[in-house]
């Protein structure tokens, strides 16, 4: 069975304290790995797509990387406005559906 696991479940950082979120996956035929940000009461907001091992994408303070078994979302010098739940999703096999992880709830304290 395809699995997507995110860790940690929750993370509290001081403003400026860099860290990484992990998404590990066991799927057959990865088509893409996606990172989303979800604010309370809102839908997932697309951040990045990664397609193959070794690929990296950056956007402001966020950098996503991909290996054959996991992806990391690195947050450099976070600010309070980066507080949100970060979701990882994979698309695999013949279908178009996304398989989501349970997310990491990030809180950045001023």
Partner 1 sequence: EPEVTQTPSHQVTQMGQEVILRCVPISNHLYFYWYRQILGQKVEFLVSFYNNEISEKSEIFDDQFSVERPDGSNFTLKIRSTKLEDSAMYFCASSPGLRWGQPQHFGDGTRLSIL
Residues in contact with partner 1 by CB under 8 A are 31-32, 34, 36, 41-46, 49, 51, 87, 89, 91, 95-103
Smallest gap from residue 77 Cβ to partner 1 (A): 26
- What are the angstrom distances between the C-alpha of 47 and each of 34, 36, 53, 63, 93? 7, 5, 18, 10, 22
Q: Measured from the CB atom, is 67 or 97 closer to partner 1?
A: 97
Show the CA angle centred on residue 12, arms to residues 88 and 101, nearest 5°. 15
**Beta carbon nearer to partner 1, 78 or 103:** 103
Distance, CA of 2 to chain centre:
17
Q: How far is the CB of 99 from partner 1 (least distance, A)?
A: 7
- Closer CB to partner 1, 7 or 17, in the complex: 7
The torsion angles phi and psi of 11, rounded to 5 degrees, stand at: -145, 125
Q: How far is the CB of 101 from partner 1 (least distance, A)?
A: 6
Distances 103 to 7, 29, 86, 110 between C-alpha atoms, Å: 8, 22, 5, 22
- CB 16, min distance to partner 1, A: 30
Judged by beta carbon, residue 15 or residue 51, the one nearer partner 1 is: 51
């Amino acid at each position: 069975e395809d699995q997507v696991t995110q860790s940690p479940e929750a993370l509290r950082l001081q403003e400026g304290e860099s860290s990484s979120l992990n998404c590990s996956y066991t799927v057959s035929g990865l088509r893409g790995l996606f990172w989303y940000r979800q604010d309370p009461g809102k839908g997932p907001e697309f951040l990045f797509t990664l397609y193959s091992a070794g690929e990296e994408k950056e956007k402001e303070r966020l950098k996503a990387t991909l290996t054959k078994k996991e992806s990391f979302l690195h947050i450099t010098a976070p600010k309070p406005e980066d507080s949100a739940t970060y979701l990882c999703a994979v698309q695999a096999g013949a279908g178009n559906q996304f398989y989501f992880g349970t997310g990491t709830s990030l809180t950045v304290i001023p």
